[in-house]
Amino acid sequence: MSRYEYKWLDPARREFRLLHVLPENDQAPTDEAIEIVDLTSPVRCTVTHASLDNAPEYNALSYTWGDPGKTVTIIVDGAEFEATKNLEAGLRHLRRKDQIVTLWVDALCINQKDIPEKNVQLAQMREIYVQAKSVVAWLGPSDDNSEMAMKWIQEYGGRSYELNIGGVGGPRLISLLDGLDAPPDKPFDEKEMLFAADLREQLSPANSWHADLITSLLRMFKRAYWSRIWIVQELASASDLIFVCGKATASDNALYDALRLLRNFAQYQNLKWNAMVKETHFKRPTGVSLMSINTGGPINMLKFRRAPHAAPLIHIMRTFRFFSSTDPRDKVFALLGISRDSEILGLRADYNKTCEQVYTDAARRLIHAGYMDILGLVQFPKNIPGLQSWVPDLSRTGYRAPLQQRSLERKGAPGATRLEPKFFASAMKEKILLRRENTMGPEVTLTLSVVRVGVIKHVGLHWNHEKGVGQWLHELYRLSSLVQNTPENATHRAQAIWRVAVADQEIRQGVRKPRLADEKVHTAYETFKDTDLKDVNEKALGDVGLSYYCEWLQSVAKGRRPLLTEDGHLGIGPCEAEPGDFVFVLLGSDLPFVMRRESETPEKIRIVGESYLHGVMDGEIMERNPVIEHIELC
């Protein structure tokens, strides 16, 4: 049998292909309800062309390709087509007994070997998903007790959605759960209280089914589907969405609420366990934990779907930086269709460009637009050869936690975002627009305006998870002690250690990401001022109500090390920072950056990474009327 060959699509008519999955039984379609079947006969399909201007009714498939080396032969227009194993399983599960199923499927409906066609088709991909009657999110075949997970998601997520518990965030759920133990001032709705009681029983570690349920949910949200970059656009564009795993289904709303329940209940348990440890020496249960379930990525995917306005590219790029793609260029291309400013930035998918060109062009255009925080994604080593130091390697799926988070403005202009917590290292709240000729030309050196803070004189040990919080605090104390203290400022510097350890910020609280509260600094200092900081651990912090402080400390410390500048500024920076590196404040940036002179071309400077320096973050350096330098980055 011959191999399937594509026929040309007419871009002028905005043509695209549709895949028709033929029924198992060779009978005319009927209007009767048809069961989904899973038989062993080969999947057979036909392909037709349609125009987006007058397209027939169809559904779109959202799925992960899976291992390209594991394929199964399907029949397309009487010819053989090698589909990945996961795609073939999805088509088989969606095939009807007596009815043709019409789908748009990227791997089949786009000629992946035709670059000009691929560029055109991907540019209209968002519209393809928008026009689809529904989007079927294929999570994969039934496995790892997925039936239990899907059933729980649909039942408890569905009940939460009906009661509007998940939609109002964690505080509502926590207040309901607290109300089970202490009568509230204002009685809750009876249905809500019943749901809270059922949920607490379902997720209680004391129940026999707890380990099986949590394990099934853990494995469900570990599936590759939840970390693939193209899925973000597919879900955001769907007018109607259903999730399918094997023969089990879950609605979009049920799954979103279920994820929020799992996240918020984990936070509730964490709070309660800390209280119980303090009061009764209660020991946390061992084994699987709600905290280990990956809810962050899936929640963000579905949150973007619900956003009333499209977000800027920088926000989407930072949010989904952990996601992966088969082609590393798709870490940019997959997000252009759902960003509100890709056209303004002048970015479009072009598979004729190398990955180095795609990443460099995106970084240049974002910097030109004033989004200096793209530099916060710079980390080493880089996998893509040829990238300059200031160009983030977006192919990475592991990053340090950025020292600021970009979030949507609830009350601002549509799609507006803000960086939190609020730092003002350059004391300039307005964007610094760089000259276009200085940033846009692919061969032109990037030149930035900066103020020199100083030179790094000492560095501490890298964050070590095994040695934990105590070593991190001790290293900051050790560096701080190298500065000659007067009795007047000794207390101030000792308190500064507690701010520097977490980059002077707390874990996100609803819509806010605040700076570290004075009372928490006071509590930490007074509790441990006579303690060797090496001995401070998670339990000790939890005992005095600083569990969230400890949680954020471990997040911000990973991939970083303490540092001290020659003029006595204590801070933290990337683990690659070394004595002799410079610290600069970039005009238009909220943060200082560690940089290094290029040994071969000393007039040029390499970016090492963003940093936090105590006494610099609120524009103190700028108040001294400093000299503004212009540096060339390489």
536 inside domain: yes
Query: Angle of helix 210-220 relative to helix 190-203, nearest 10 degrees?
Result: 90
Residue 35's pLDDT is 45
Which of 311-320, 329-338, 375-384, 538-547 has the weakest average pLDDT? 538-547
What are 462-497's pLDDT values in tens digits? Answer: 999 889 999 999 999 999 999 877 666 777 888 899
Where do runs of H (alpha helix) occur along 382-463?
Answer: 436-439
Where do runs of H (alpha helix) occur along 481-537?
Answer: 487-500, 518-528
Quote the CA–CA distance of 601 and 583 in Å, as a whole number: 19
Identify whether residues 450 and 597 lie together within a single domain.
yes
Identify whether residues 294 and 197 lie together within a single domain.
yes
Place of tokens 């977490």: 502
237 inside domain: no
**Average pLDDT in the 542-558 region?**
90
CB-based contact 139:220 (threshold 8 Å): yes
Residue 42 CB neighbours (<10 A): 13
The token pair that represents 368 in the structure block: 């030109």
What are 206-231's pLDDT values in tens digits? Answer: 788 888 999 999 999 999 999 999 99
Query: Is pLDDT of 551 > 90?
Result: no
319 inside domain: yes
510 inside domain: yes
Give the confidence band of 275 by pLDDT, cuts at 50, 70, 90: low
How much is the pTM?
0.89
- From 516, 539, 558, the end of a domain falls on 558
SS3 breakdown of the chain: % helix, strand, coil, rounded to 5? 40, 20, 40
Identify whether residues 173 and 273 lie together within a single domain.
yes
243 inside domain: no
The residue type of 269 is: Q
Measured CA angle at 629 (ends 627, 630), to 5 deg: 160
What are 591-629's pLDDT values in tens digits? Answer: 999 999 877 666 789 999 999 999 999 999 988 888 999
Quote the CA–CA distance of 544 and 190 in Å, as a whole number: 35
Answer whether the bond into residue 298 is a cis peptide, omega within 30°: no
Identify whether residues 586 and 453 lie together within a single domain.
yes
Identify whether residues 128 and 207 lie together within a single domain.
no
Identify whether residues 323 and 294 lie together within a single domain.
no
Query: Is pLDDT of 115 > 50?
Result: yes
Residue 408 CB neighbours (<10 A): 19
Give the confidence band of 167 by pLDDT, cuts at 50, 70, 90: low
In which element (H, E) is residue 119 found? Answer: helix 115-123
CB-based contact 375:607 (threshold 8 Å): yes
**Domain tally for the chain?**
5
Q: Could you tell me the residue range of the domain that residue 16 belongs to? A: 11-133
CB-based contact 503:572 (threshold 8 Å): yes
Identify whether residues 16 and 111 lie together within a single domain.
yes
Which of 78-92, 166-180, 299-313, 529-543 has the weakest average pLDDT? 166-180
CA-based nearest residue to 125, from 318, 330, 319, 325: 330
432 inside domain: no
CA-based nearest residue to 82, from 70, 91, 90, 92: 70
- From 104, 133, 162, the end of a domain falls on 133
Quote the CA–CA distance of 220 and 361 in Å, as a whole number: 36
Residue 560's pLDDT is 97
CA-based nearest residue to 246, from 148, 109, 159: 148
Residue 487's pLDDT is 62
Query: Is pLDDT of 410 > 80?
Result: no
599 or 251, which is more confident?
251
CA distance to 71, 246, 608, 616, per residue, from 611 (Å): 46, 47, 9, 10
What are 423-456's pLDDT values in tens digits? Answer: 999 986 544 444 444 445 556 678 899 999 999 9
Give the confidence band of 101 by pLDDT, cuts at 50, 70, 90: very high
Give the confidence band of 189 by pLDDT, cuts at 50, 70, 90: confident
Residue 352 CB neighbours (<10 A): 8
Identify whether residues 614 and 523 lie together within a single domain.
no
Residue 435's pLDDT is 44
Please provide the average confidence, as pLDDT, over all residues in the chain: 88
DSSP of 556-585: HHTTEEEEEETT--EEEEETT--TT-EEEE
Q: How far apart are the first and last CA of the chain?
A: 54
Residue 301's pLDDT is 95
632 inside domain: yes
Quote the CA–CA distance of 497 and 562 in Å, as a whole number: 10
Taking phi first (over 0 means left), then psi (-120 to 50 degrees means alpha), and beta for anything else, what does residue 294 get? Answer: beta
Percent of the chain with pLDDT over 90: 68
The residue type of 288 is: V
Place of tokens 């905005």: 14
The residue type of 336 is: L
Identify whether residues 543 and 410 lie together within a single domain.
no
- From 558, 578, 613, the end of a domain falls on 558
430 inside domain: no
Answer whether the bond into residue 442 is a cis peptide, omega within 30°: no
CA-based nearest residue to 321, from 378, 366, 386: 378
What are 359-394's pLDDT values in tens digits? Answer: 999 999 999 998 999 999 999 999 999 999 999 999
Identify whether residues 542 and 566 lie together within a single domain.
no
DSSP helix/strand/coil, 446: strand
526 HSE (CA, 13 A, CB side): 8
Identify whether residues 521 and 452 lie together within a single domain.
no
The token pair that represents 52 in the structure block: 């987006």
Identify whether residues 454 and 493 lie together within a single domain.
no
**Average pLDDT in the 400-418 region?**
86
355 or 407, which is more confident?
355
Quote the CA–CA distance of 634 and 632 in Å, as a whole number: 7
Give the confidence band of 187 by pLDDT, cuts at 50, 70, 90: low
Query: Is pLDDT of 277 > 60?
Result: no
